[in-house]
Amino acid sequence: MQQTISATVAILFYRSHYLAGNTAPIDALCAALKERGLTPIALYVSSLREPDVQAEIVALLENLEQPLGAILNTTSFSLAKLQREAGSTETIPLWQSLNVPVLQVILSGGSREQWQESLRGLNPRDLAMNVALPEVDGRIITRAVSFKAVQARHPQLETEVVIYEPDPNRIAWVAELTHNLIRCAQTPAENRKIALILANYPNKDGRLANGVGLDTLASCLRILQALQLEGYDITDIPDSTQALIQQLTSGITNDRELFGDRRINQQIATQKVWDFFQQLSPDIQRAMGERWQEREQWDHLPEFLPVSGIQWGNIFVGIQPSRGYDRDPSLNYHAPDLEPTLHYLAFYLWIQTAFQAHAVIHLGKHGNLEWLPGKSVALSHDCYPEIALAPLPHFYPFIVNDPGEGTQAKRRAHACIIDHLTPPLTRAELYGDLEKLEALIDEYYEAQTLDPSRLRTIGDRLGQLFQTSQLHQDLGIGLPDVNDLNPLLTVADSYLCELKEAQIRDGLHILGQVPPREQLRDLIISIVRSPHYQRLGLTQAIAIDLGLAFDPILDPLDQPFSLSPAIEARLIQQGKSALAHQLKSCRIGGDVVNVLEAIAQTQVERLIPSPP
């Protein structure tokens, strides 16, 4: 039975368009929403940046007969004030108060012809004002629904008039996405169907569910468990990541070598795929045919095409299909002109028509849908990301430190990005021979002052360690002369300090899970160690607080260091004799950094609640 959707959709546009009578795109959006059973309300504003305007909008939209389902915003710029003052917090009262999806709808400042011919999609001005800045607010980027056109000569004004001319196809696409988002929200959890898609590149089982910086299988399992707790119809989910991967690989995958030995869990009629394909434009049919007709042997396709993945109740966990690299290894993963295969379209068509998903989740950077050929932004119906995904609600957990590729998914696949943490970071430290070498170098310098008779013995041991560790090759020098080690030790000491301070990953992030205590501590330090505008880095602040004439971020690690008697006396007076002794034993800046890092660890640990 067809689900009835009832909601109001607010359309925000500029007052200047209303005064100029230039509202054809707004009228067209209203009509398209009405066709889908939604109630549009069009509001013109002078500027959304004004607090009183925001207050009026909130007051109006919070007192509607029907619930507010979404906002279609055609205004430019961002509401977020990118304040520079230290300690400032970003708030966007309008969007937070209304708490519904905000879709950015683009009224292009260029002509339809320019848009059609351009692979970029929008000119730089439109891209900045109508896409890049609105993205700061977290708006869902949709399509360009109108273009500037020159109207016939106006009889009263005696001049040509430029108007916004709506594009019916793009209007319909935005209205359908809006309808689908509201449909998803209003469908009871027990009836809601979600397709969760795992990336797979290269196309071997060993690379199944790869997500940059993310433990994708553990995250997938946590999502399944969370959906079950929220009342979704999901049964018999695996109890471990090992069980999850075993169930996924028991069916067909992208690994062509094992294709014939796996069971088919779901499939789509080839005729249904052909019917869909033949509805595409002749240019698309020709391009895909020239690329894939012979390689995929279109004349000998089976009656049904398999769909990789497994279904648990109303949740489908799928394996994103290959773009075709397995059929032609010379093809590039990010090739901008590599058309998808017929099997690729069959996968997403099954999700939409047979499974009838309410929403799609692509889990973890990075899948390949957002890299399919087409315009960079403001896609047309002939752009392959749109052909594959259609106006289906799309959510994308994505690593927070790669906004560039995340932007690709936002602009080309209307993704709502859900940022996740990077893997826990920690200092590389030293181990093995390098750790022994650092200790011997410290011992050598100490012997120069306290017991020179030991220098020959320590020097021999240093020479042996340099030979076994091959560190002299990394430094680009020959084996050391045990009679004159000082020049080499200065270079080696600095190099070891840099190695020890390097930031490395300590495991992978799991979506929705706070890193364990020690990893959380090191991650926090790695973030706050770096200085930002009007804020010192943590170890910098500690060094200043101690009165040290050393900057752990800017000063060289091999810079000679000696603790001043005044600072030593003050630390002892403060009851910090152990710290004074540690600093007094520091020879170079790298040694000081070790002390400062240890202090930072202690301070951050105090802020982390103990586990229950």
Residue 83 pLDDT > 50 = no
Residue 148: pLDDT band by 50, 70, 90 thresholds?
A: very high
Residue 264 pLDDT > 90 = yes
CA 341 to chain centre: 26
Nearest alpha-carbon partner for 265 in 217, 211, 304: 304
pLDDT of residue 484: 67
pLDDT of residue 105: 98
Strands (E), 371-465: 394-399, 416-420, 425-427
Q: Hey, CA dihedral for 351, 352, 355, 361, is it positive or negative?
A: positive
The structure tokens listed for 462 are 């240093």
Q: Is 583 left (phi over 0), alpha (psi -120 to 50) or beta?
A: alpha
**Chain-wide mean pLDDT for the chain?**
89
Give the chain's count of helices (H) and strands (E).
24, 16
pLDDT of residue 478: 67
Q: Is residue 440 classed as helix, strand or coil in its secondary structure?
A: helix
What global pTM score does this model have? 0.86
**Chain segment 181-193, per-residue pLDDT in tens:** 999 999 999 999 9
Residue 270 pLDDT > 80 = yes
pLDDT of residue 366: 78
Do the beta carbons of residue 44 and residue 25 sit within 8 Å?
no
**Chain segment 341-384, per-residue pLDDT in tens:** 999 999 999 999 999 999 999 998 878 999 999 999 999 999 99
Please report, rounded to a whole number, the percentage of residues in the chain having pLDDT higher than 90.
Answer: 64
Segment 477-493 shows an average pLDDT of 70
Tell me the CA distances in angstroms from 148 to 23, 114, 207, 393, 495, one per residue in order.
12, 10, 47, 29, 60
**Chain segment 157-184, per-residue pLDDT in tens:** 667 778 899 999 999 999 999 999 999 9
pLDDT of residue 448: 79
Q: Hey, CA dihedral for 525, 530, 532, 535, is it positive or negative?
A: positive
Alpha helices in 451-588 (DSSP H): 455-469, 471-474, 486-501, 517-528, 538-546, 565-573, 577-584
Segment 266-280 shows an average pLDDT of 97
Could you tell me which residue, 210 or 237, shows the higher pLDDT?
Answer: 237
**Cross-strand partners of 208:** 200
Residue 107: pLDDT band by 50, 70, 90 thresholds?
A: very high
Could you tell me which residue, 144 or 499, shows the higher pLDDT?
Answer: 144
Which range among 90-94, 442-446, 459-463, 504-508 shows the weakest confidence by mean pLDDT?
A: 90-94
Residue 90 pLDDT > 70 = no
